Each structure stands twice: as C-alpha cells, then as structure tokens.
Amino acid sequence: MAEKSIANSRYIYIHETGKWPSQTVDLHHVVARKSCLRNGVACLSGLVLLLSTYYSLVGKGESLYVPLLYVVIGTLFIMLSRWTLVEKGEKVEYAFDFVVRGCSLRENWLNDVGSYLVQSCCTSLSSHLSSVIIIFSPAFPSSGRSVRRFVPIDKILKPLLNECVTPVTCYWSLALILREEDELMLVFKTLRVDCWLVLLKLVEVGMATTVPKEVSSDIPLLVSAKVLPEGSRARDWCCRDSGEKYHQTLGSELPPFLYSSSVHLQKAKYRA
Amino acid sequence: MGSQGKHRILMVSDFFYPNFGGVESHIYYLSQCLLELGHKVVVMTHAYGNRSGVRYMTNGLKVYYVPWKPFVMQSVLPTFSGTLPIMRTILIREKISLVHGHQAFSTLCHEALMHARTMGYKVVFTDHSLYGFSDVGSIHMNKVLQFTLADATQAICVSHTSKENTVLRSGIPAEKVYVIPNAVDTAMFKPAPERLPRDQIVIVVISRLVYRKGADLLVEVIPEVCRLHPNVRFIIGGDGPKRVRLEEMREKHSLQDRVEMLGAVPHAQVRSVLISGHIFLNSSLTEAFCIAILEAASCGLLTVSTRVGGVPEVLPDDMIVLAKPDPSDMVQAVGKAITMLPDIDPQVMHMRMKKLYSWHDVAKRTQIVYERALKCTDQSLVERLSRYLACGAWAGKLFCLVMIINYLFWCLLRLWQVLANL
C-alpha cells in the first residue's frame, strides 16, 4: 500500500492506496492529534487545587466547607478540560474506503470512533472499481464499543447540512436523507475539517450538487479542497488554489464555528 | 465592514415574523431593501413555538430563531449575560459589522445591544413607540432605555414626536437621534379597480382591540355615528380583550346589521378588507407613527384619526381628518370626512402615497445612519463606564457593575474558547 501523509498542529492526513486484501482500495484518514498543552493545564490546575485543599485542611480554624468546595470546583474543572469527543483512545480516525461491491470493510483496521464515508464510483477512479457502499460507524465514547451501519449508496437521496441553534451556541451538522425513511441519518453532529472533506466527496460524486452559499462563503476550503501532492505544506492541504486569504484563515485556527468538541453520534444497528 | 461600503448588519428584536405588526413589518421590509442595496442582513429573534433554529426568508434573509421562550408580552426573560454566548457566536460566524436593535420593549434587543457594545461593535437602536413618564412601568422602562442608549452609537425614531419622547426619556443627545419614518408597501396595498358606490358609506376599523388602541372610544363613537348617519355601516377587524365591549355595544343598540365584526384578520387579507370601505377610522390613544393609516391611504381610503403622538406627521391634510381623542370630537370628524368623500379619488391618493413613502428610501437613509455610526471612534471600557455613571446616583453605579460583569464574562468566554481549541 502506498502512503502519503500531511500533518499540521491539529490534524494528520494520511492517504493510502493499494490492494487489500485483493481489491483496490483508496483510504483517506484524518487523525486528530492529542493536545499535550491542554492535559498539562488540567493536571497543573488539579495539583494547585489539591494543594489548596490540603493546606486548608491542615490549617487550624478552617471549616470543612472550604476544602470541600475546592475539591468540587477542582473536579469540575478537570472534567471539563479533559472532556474530548472520545474518552477511549488517543486518536479519532475517519476513513474513506473505496471498496468493491460484496467486499466487507476492514473492520479491524479502523479504530473505534467516528463515521466513515465511502465514496461511490466517480470518474477519477479507475475502471476496476465497480461500485461502492456508504458506511457509518457511530461509536459510543464511554464504552469504546463500535457500532457500524452499512448503507447502500443507492439509498441515499441527499446529504444535508443542518445549521443548528441552541440557547448558547450554533453549529453545523451533516445528515443524510434516506429513501423510504422518515428520519434523517445523522452523520456528524458537530462538523470539523475532516467532515467537510466527507461532504466534498459527496459533492464530487454528484450527490450534493450544491453547497449552501453561506457555507461556501464561510468555508472556502470546502469549495476548493483537493488532495495535495506529497511535500505540500500542511496549511495548504485544503486550499491549494484558493489564494492568500484562505491560507491566512487556516493558518493557526479553524473557522470559528468549527468546534473540536464532542461528537455525539447516533445509535444505529449493525447491519451487514 | 464589507467591501465597497457594504455592511453586515444584525437586526435584533423580540418582534419578528411570524408575528405581524408595525415593528415586524419594519424589520422585514428594511432588511429586504438593505439586501437589495447589497448589504448582508441577519435577523435574530426568539423562537416562536416550533419555529426554532435558522430559517431563510425571501432573498436569502437569514433569521436566527434562538430557542429562548418568550416570557411576557412576547419578550424573553431578562438574563443580563445569559444571551452573551449565543450573541457572540452569531456575531463571529456571520462576521457582523453593526448591530441594529428594534423596539424599547424588547428584552432581547437591550441585551444584544449591551453585549455588542461590550464586544466593541457599533450599535444602532430604533424606537418604535411612545411611552409615558409618570407611572411605575414607564419609570422602569425609561431607566432600561437610558442604560441601553447611554452607550448606543446612534438612534433612529420614526417621527419627530417620537424623537422628542425618546430624547426626554433616555437622555440621549438629540444630535445622535435621526428621524426616519416608516413606509408602506404600495405594491401590496392598492385601491380597488372600481370605485365603491356611495349610497352606503362603509367605515373600516382594523386594529388590536385593546385599551391603547382606543377600543373604548369606538364603543362611544359607533352608536352616535350610526344614529346621525343612517347610511353608514362599520366593518371592524381585529381581536383583543376589548372585543367583548364592542359586541355588547352592538347588542345594546341593535346594530347587528350595521356593525360587522370580522375577528382577527390575517395580514394577507388586510387589503381586501380595506378596499371594501370608504373611510378608515383610527382611534389610538398613543401612536409613534401608525403604519395602519399609511396602508389605508395607499388603498385610497380617507382617514379619520385621533390627533395623538406622531399621527399628524404622517399624512397631508387633505388625506386625513384629525380629532381629539374624545367621542364627540371624533363623531364630528367622521361627519366631516363623509362630506369630503366626493372629492377623494383613490387612485390619485395611491399614487401620492407611492411618491411620499418608500421602503427603499427608508433603507437609503438608514444606510447613512450606519455609515455615520461606523465612523464613530472606538472607546475603551473606562470611557464607556463614565457614560453609565452619569445615568444616576445609584443607577449609574449599578449599570457600571452590570457592564463590568458582562465584560468579565465575555473575557471568560474568549478564554474558554481558546482552551477548548487547544
């Protein structure tokens, strides 16, 4: 299998092509990097609060409520700062698999998180790829158990970008409209840059013929995202042709509404 | 600010579609005309029932129905800093350059303007109503308005009377207040193709049947007019707590065949009700502007109205008969209007209204206000706090405390997002 990778401070993109086990596959992985600084801040805060609790206990004349308060606040702070989209495992992996009809996915190769989108036949692929299946694999963060759902590409009517509003925030989510089903299938509750790549794949295969103007103006990378040749700079990985403006946008942080917080994925039955 | 003088404006109010009213229409039509001028407009309001989330209206007008439930009189519960997170999120993701709040009764508007100033945005406030000075409710509302306008960049009022009222209530310098009247959609409100016969005179009343809209006056006026003019009949559209009184009046004077009550009239059907009449009767006890008489005049009706608030500024003298908010004076005014009817040509009246009032003109004038607001210098927190201190001996200190807490909360939110992005 041939492998190319591009990395920046937050993500590692790995592209593998080749034959496995006997069919041709084209795999794209986006791996979120673990943040050492965040863990360091959380540990330091915990240590400070523990010391405060200790000294308040040791000190004379102090009531019991003060150290209890320290413990509660400290615990909450540490829990919030350690809260990531998955508790188990150090990385989140989203892979796009190109497989031939009838071939099962390499389940043991993929990690236990996230959803997977398999692209259908597109003109850029060679002729030996005859068909594709779309696979979604929601995971339960607390248990680490993986549940995968196979959805034939023919069943997908349209992908949908939902703009969700809560009393305190807004976010984008990606869902699919399926034939003969009343409910949308949630793919990603909170979109991140890797999920935009998913949507781009759908656009490429013609499933999403239009991207909302709001989205395309706010996320120029979506319009011009391409797989860059080896050796490209990480910050250019999504916006090769988009000009200086977009490079600056992606320089050190994602567009503001791309949250890196949790993705609560739908429960789904495992279907072969 | 966008390219070539184009702005990205956030309109904030508790009052918007699917409600219909003066403020709602103002925000909608102004937003549409600003979109046509090339600006980007986003509206933020509270959720209405199941209508929650993001909606797109005509010409791509984006509306955020934030899931905060209305608390009283269609306004959300005042939480001071509770709306800061969502407000900040919307301002950043939409790349807003200026925030425009509407209506003094809107809690969401006041909080949004406060948060926008905390974050350094320029704000414009439009006041759509007149308010008193002496009762407890007015005193509190005026204090809230004083707090909001203490640091507002510019303000807009819909009439000169409203400007005077707003300046007196809030203490904002008069040079910061602009007068931009409302307008009417003359394409929608057109007269009937054929003139109505005048053997029977039809007087139309369309308003909310509440005290403020003078429903009690109608109870006195209608029987007297019916007595004096046997060929007059009334059509009353609208609903409210005073509807019962009108129905009792109708029963008491046996006017069932001369007073027709339609109940609540959907906005889309207002025109069809108006064109069935010759005269439009407005009995409001207070009005900053009164879009209803504009709509009636655009449909070719002669208007009889109480001389209150900004009403005398709205129509020329040959299109309106004014009276004191007194039953006998109003009955005389109706009599005078009936004698003027032969000289009224609905089509000519409609064409005059088309030239006098236009939402495009309102949008251009509002654009000038935006440009002046954006040219104002930025101010530090300390400079802004000094303005709040001037609001009163105790109130000033309280306002400063609120702004400091809001500022600290904003700093915390920014720090939180930095940590979350690590």
Is the per-residue pLDDT at A28 higher than 80? no
End-to-end CA distance of chain A: give it in Å, rounded.
26
Q: Residue B422: which of A35, A167, A169 has the nearest Cβ?
A: A35
Distant-in-sequence contacts of B366-370, Cβ < 8 A, 24+ apart: B366/B30, B366/B34, B366/B156, B366/B180, B367/B7, B367/B34, B367/B37, B367/B39, B369/B124, B369/B154, B369/B156, B369/B178, B369/B180, B370/B7, B370/B9, B370/B98, B370/B100, B370/B124
**Nearest-neighbour CA in chain B from A243: distance (Å):** 17
Contact residues on chain A for B53, CB-CB shorter than 8 A: 163-165
**DSSP structure string for A33-98:** PP-HHHHHHHHHHHHHHHHHHHHHHHSTT--THHHHHHHHHHHHHHHHHH--S-SSSS--EEEE--
Residue of A nearest to B416 (CA): A81
Mean pLDDT of B9-15: 95
Nearest to B30 by CA among B9, B46, B45, B48: B9
pTM (2 d.p.): 0.72
Scanning B303-394, the segments in alpha helix (DSSP H) are: 327-340, 346-356, 359-375, 381-389
Taking an 8 Å cut-off on Cβ atoms, the answer to whether A168 and B419 are in contact is: no
Q: Output A242 or A22, whichever has higher pLDDT.
A: A22
- Count A/B contacts: CB-CB distance under 8 Å: 51
- Contact between A21 and A9 (Cβ < 8 Å): no
Is B65 within 8 Å of A165 when comparing Cβ atoms? yes
Residue B43 has pLDDT above 90, yes or no: yes
> Helix, strand or coil for residue B249?
helix
DSSP assignment of B39-90 equals: -EEEEEEE-BTTB-EEEEEGGGEEEEEES--EEETTEEPP-TTTTHHHHHHH
Confidence of residue B192 (pLDDT cuts 50, 70, 90): very high
Using the beta-carbon criterion (under 8 Å), do B92 and A168 form an inter-chain contact? no
Over residues B331-385, the pLDDT tens digits come to 999 999 999 999 999 999 999 999 999 999 999 999 999 999 999 988 888 888 8
Distances, alpha carbon B204 to alpha carbons B234, B259, B304, B406, in Å: 6, 10, 10, 49
Question: Nearest residue of B to residue A253 by CA position?
Answer: B421
Distance of alpha carbon A172 from its chain centroid, rounded? 13
Report, as an integer, the average pLDDT of B208-224.
Answer: 93
Q: Residue B342 is encoded by which pair of tokens?
A: 């032969």
The answer to whether residue B135 scores a pLDDT higher than 90 is: no
Distance between A220 CA and the closest CA of chain B, angstroms = 14
Angle ∠(B5,B10,B12) on CA atoms, nearest 5: 145
Distance CA B353, CA B336 (A): 22
Does residue A229 have a cis bond before it (omega within 30 degrees)?
no
Q: Is the pLDDT of residue A206 over 70?
A: no
CA–CA distance, B333 with B343 (Å, rounded to integer): 16
Angle (CA) B22 B23 B25, round 5°: 65
Within 8 A by CB and 6+ apart from A188, the residues are: A115, A173, A174, A195, A198, A263, A265
Helix (H) or strand (E) holding B149: helix B136-150
Query: How far is A195 from A189, CA to CA, in rounded Å?
Result: 10
Q: Is the peptide bond before B327 cis (omega within 30 degrees of 0)?
A: no
CA distance B113 to B402: 13
Neighbours of B98 (CB within 10 A): 22
> CA nearest B360: which of B188, B186, B191, B190?
B186
The answer to whether A170 contacts B67, with C-beta atoms less than 8 Å apart, is no
For residues B323-337, give the mean pLDDT: 95
Quick one: residue B240, left, alpha or beta (phi over 0 = left, psi -120 to 50 = alpha)? left
Residue with tokens 């703009």: A163
Per DSSP, the three-state class of B247 is helix
- Provide CB contacts within 8 A for A109, sequence distance 6+: none
Cβ of B89 and A259 within 8 Å? no
B340 or A40: which carries more pLDDT confidence? Answer: B340
Higher pLDDT: B141 or B234? It is B234
For residue B197, give the DSSP letter: P
pLDDT at B306: 96
DSSP conformation letters of chain A? -EEEEEE-SSEEEEEEEEESSSSEEEEEEEEEPP-HHHHHHHHHHHHHHHHHHHHHHHSTT--THHHHHHHHHHHHHHHHHH--S-SSSS--EEEE----TTPPP-GGGS-SSS--------TTS-TT----EEEE--B-TTT--B--EEEEGGGEEEEEEEEEE-SS-EEEEEEEEETT-SSPEEEESS--HHHHHHHHHHHHTTS-----HHHHHH-HHHHH--PPPTT--GGGSS-TTS-HHHHHHHSSS--TT---S---PPP---B-
Asked if the model's pLDDT at residue A222 lies above 50, the reply is no
pLDDT of B294 > 80? The answer is yes
Nearest to A261 among B54, B65, B420 (CB): B420
User: Which residues in B lie closer than 8 A to residue A163 (C-beta atoms)?
Assistant: 53-54
Chain B residues touching residue A165 (CB < 8 angstroms):
52-54, 64-67, 86
Among candidates A169, A253, A261 on the partner chain, residue whose Cβ is nearest the Cβ of B86: A169
Inform me whether the C-beta atom of residue A260 falls under 8 Å from chain B C-beta atoms: yes
Q: Which residue has the higher pLDDT, A253 or B325?
A: B325
A36, closest residue in chain B (CA to CA) = B422
Give dist(CA A4, CA A24) in Å, integer.
16
B3 touches A: beta carbon within 8 Å: no
Tokens of A100: 């031939």
pLDDT at B326 > cutoff 70: yes
Residue B4 is predicted with a pLDDT of 58
Could you tell me the end-to-end alpha-carbon distance of chain B, in angstroms, rounded to an integer?
30
What pLDDT is recorded for position B113? 94
Q: Residue B276: what pLDDT?
A: 94
Residue entry with tokens 């990603």: A188
Q: Is A259 on the interface with B (CB under 8 A)?
A: yes
Please report residues of A whose CB lies closer than 8 A to that of B420. Answer: 259-261
More confident residue, B281 or B195: B281
ipTM (interface pTM): 0.77
Q: Which two tokens stand for residue A1?
A: 């299998």
Interchain CB distance below 8 Å, A166 and B86: yes
Inspect the interface and report whether the beta carbons of B421 and A81 lie closer than 8 Å.
no
DSSP three-state, residue B229: coil
- Give residue-wise pLDDT tens across range B143-165: 989 999 999 999 999 999 999 99
CB of B133 within 8 A of CB of B169?
yes
**Is A257 in Cβ contact with B54 (below 8 Å)?**
no
CA distances from A174 to A151, A257, B81, B351 (A): 16, 14, 31, 51
Q: Which helix (H) or strand (E) holds B161?
A: helix B160-170
Whether residue B85 and residue A260 make contact (CB cut-off 8 A), yes or no, is: no
Quote the distance between the C-alpha of residue A225 and its chain's center: 16
Q: Which two tokens stand for residue B72?
A: 């009283």
Of A165, A213, A253, the CB nearest to B54: A165
Tokens of B374: 């954006």
Of B34, B59, B54, the C-alpha closest to B44 is B54
- C-alpha span between A151 and A268 (Å, rounded): 11
B98 neighbors B91 (Cβ within 8 angstroms): no
List of chain A residues whose C-beta atoms are within 8 Å of the C-beta of residue B422: 35, 37-38, 41
Chain center to CA of A1: 24
